[in-house]
A and B are shown apart, each in its own frame.
Chain A
Amino acid sequence: MAEYELDCMGEACPVPLIKAEKELLKMSVGDILIIQIDHSCAMKNVPEWARKQGHNVELEEVDDGEWEVVIEKMK
């Protein structure tokens, strides 16, 4: 169970989503990916996409306009 981090601060949509997609391909089932974002549309489309893929997703608001998307790879 490895933990990966992806710093997407200052990146606009859809860059965080595409980066998350690529990162998840490298990971094994059960691994955790933490994506740091500060673009409000990424806090909608990244969790939406990951849930549709069947992964466990949690969204945390860490500061004003900053979020962490935690994805547990399920398959």
Chain B
Amino acid sequence: MDIRKNKFYKAWFKDAWPYITGAVLLSVFQIVTLATTGNPWGVSGVLANWGAWFVELFGGSVDKWYYFSSEGAQATLANGFFKDPGTMRNLGIIIGALFATLMASQFKIKKIKSKKQIIAAVLGGLLMGYGARIGFGCNIGALFSGIASMSLSGWVYAIFLFAGAYVGSKLLVKFFM
């Protein structure tokens, strides 16, 4: 039997899951995260810690950096890479995404089409990373976790997220069309 024609293979691995399935799963994962780790779900803050551990790997220290000066941040860094729940979560996202694309046999290393793409990706990444840190979160930590915790800041974040997306899409049309 051809597995590609199997309806369970198609529903589970080949076709994209419906938005509602994703929404329910994200909510369940948020609850599990809060219940087991005591903190709401965050993604980009973990990446900042990865950066700090990377610096420490080469003998550097971030102890004097304002961003890492809080007791909580110092404790997380002292605990180490492999004992951080956020690290496990982010690794899970990366491995899970790879697993999903391999199961759907849609893995492909895409070619870079133009220098513009590199510049836009680097600039966009830096802006998003910097913005997420001074905004105390990305669209997971500040938006999703914020709104899920009944925090007004999540909604404020949403308004400015839309404003940013509007400007971003105008720039995209201007530079990439």
A residues with CB within 8 A of B: 9-11, 14-15, 18-19, 22, 38-40, 44, 63-66
Contacts and interface: CB of A to CB of B under 8 A. Distances in A.
B107 A11 contact: no
A14 B169 CA distance: 9
Contacts of A39: 110
A9 B114 CA distance: 11
A11 B172 CA distance: 12
Interface of B: 16, 101, 105-108, 110-113, 117, 169, 172-173, 176-177
A63 B89 CA distance: 31
Contact of B176 (A15, A38, A65): A15
Contacts of B110: 9-10, 38-39
20 contacts: A9-B110, A9-B111, A10-B110, A10-B111, A10-B117, A14-B169, A15-B172, A15-B176, A15-B177, A18-B173, A39-B110, A40-B106, A63-B108, A64-B105, A64-B107, A64-B108, A65-B101, A65-B106, A65-B108, A66-B108
Contacts of B177: 15, 18-19, 22
Contacts of B169: 14
A64 B113 contact: no
A52 B172 CA distance: 24
B96 to A, nearest CB: 15
Contacts of B105: 64-65
